[in-house]
Amino acid sequence: MIGFVLRRLLGIVPLVALLALTTFALLQLAPGGPFDAERNFPPEVARQLEARFQLDQPFHVQFQAYATGLMDGTLPSLKRPGLTVGELIAESFPVSLTLGAMALAFALLTGVSAGIIGAIRQNSAWDWMTMGVALVGISVPNFVLGPLLILIFALWLGWLPPARWQGLDTMILPAVTLGLAYAAYIARLTRAGMLEVVRADFVRTARAKGLSEAAVVFGHALRGGVLPVVTWLGPATARILTGTVVIEKIFQVPGLGYYFVQSALDRDYSMVLGVVTFYAAILMVMNLLVDVAYTVLDPRVRLQ
């Protein structure tokens, strides 16, 4: 397994480099520049800024400078003077990480529980109810769900604050809003996986031995039933941990997604390149962890 992990980690490097090159090329091909939106900008000042950030250099020179600064942590932000991309990511990512971890914990707890209930009570009222709620969670976009939860729990009931990021009570609504859609997917995947496993021979054997239903479900069936969830959680966890732009915008959460979109609108090449590269690395590492988790949950799987 160690050799497999090392090979995958080494393979991440050229993939991330290729993605960074592609992203940088697309930014260069897009019309306009980082300082085009500035008003009353003297031409000599514009030339000095372009020279400072090497925007007047050929493509390969610019990319080499950006890649070097990105690797050693000195790549400056074009629109936030005095700050590097690494500092901005270090400042905003913990916020997105906290929000994503809370949303993921909520999604796993509610989604796996609903999926188990739907599987062991197949075609019952509990099954129809849990899967119906899951279908609603998948169908309703979070830009609709977020304001709706604010309206109910903040404005009508007054239980929670509508926005900000200043304490545990301010984290509940954005975490629930972000996690509900993921919980819905997890519920349906868990139910599908459990339905396949509960009919397996080893589960029937466990019941024949006289084990309780809880021991059969959680001790035998669940490990195989959650395999579809584990597969889906790789890219989903990377996405949820790096921040969701809509949620962060609705609830005024100063996370990575918020700064990424703002940087894209401002044509801040440095920040966009840094966030895309950072996101790609997390996505690939999460996919690697999924492959490793497979060997723990299913002893039949062997890593080559």
**According to the model, what pLDDT value does residue 106 have?**
92
**According to the model, what pLDDT value does residue 298 have?**
61
3-state SS record for 107-127: HHHHHHHHHHHHHHCCCCHHH
Mean pLDDT of 210-227: 74
- Of 21-35, 101-115, 204-218, the range with the highest mean pLDDT is 101-115
pLDDT-based confidence at 37, cuts 50/70/90? low
CB 173 within 8 A of CB 251: yes
Contacts (Cβ under 8 Å, ≥6 apart) of 151: none
Among residues 102, 87, 109, the alpha carbon closest in space to that of 177 is found at 102
pLDDT-based confidence at 36, cuts 50/70/90? low
Residue 233: left (phi > 0), alpha (psi -120 to 50), or beta?
Answer: alpha
Whether residue 53 has pLDDT greater than 80:
no
- Residue corresponding to tokens 């509610």: 110
Lowest-confidence pick of 97-101, 111-115, 162-166, 300-304: 300-304
Whether residue 219 has pLDDT greater than 80:
no
99-153 pLDDT per residue, tens: 888 999 999 999 888 888 888 887 888 888 888 888 888 888 888 888 898 999 9
Contacts (Cβ under 8 Å, ≥6 apart) of 192: 228
SS3 260: helix
Whether residue 21 has pLDDT greater than 70:
yes
230-284 pLDDT per residue, tens: 778 777 877 777 667 778 888 888 888 878 877 887 788 888 888 888 888 888 8
SS3 157: coil
Among residues 149, 185, 182, 173, the alpha carbon closest in space to that of 248 is found at 173
The token pair at 295 is 């060997």
Mean pLDDT of 155-174: 85
As a residue count, the chain comes to 304
Q: How far apart are CA 288 and CA 8, in angstroms?
A: 7
Q: How far apart are CA 203 and CA 172, in angstroms?
A: 38
The token pair at 241 is 């941990």
Bridge partners, residue 84, by sequence: 76
Whether residue 211 has pLDDT greater than 80:
no
Among residues 93, 99, 107, 95, the alpha carbon closest in space to that of 233 is found at 107
CB 70 within 8 A of CB 85: yes
Q: How far apart are CA 237 and CA 223, in angstroms?
A: 19
Whether residue 195 has pLDDT greater than 70:
yes
Q: How far apart are CA 42 and CA 30, in angstroms?
A: 23
- CATH of the domain spanning 93-256: 1.10.3720.10
Among residues 174, 56, 185, 209, the alpha carbon closest in space to that of 110 is found at 185
Q: How far apart are CA 283 and CA 169, in angstroms?
A: 30
Q: How far apart are CA 302 and CA 18, in angstroms?
A: 29
Mean of the per-residue pLDDT values of the chain: 81
**According to the model, what pLDDT value does residue 105 have?**
92
Q: How far apart are CA 71 and CA 261, in angstroms?
A: 22
**According to the model, what pLDDT value does residue 243 have?**
61
Whether residue 46 has pLDDT greater than 80:
no
pLDDT-based confidence at 303, cuts 50/70/90? low
Other beta carbons within 10 angstroms of residue 10's beta carbon come to 9
pTM over 0.85: no
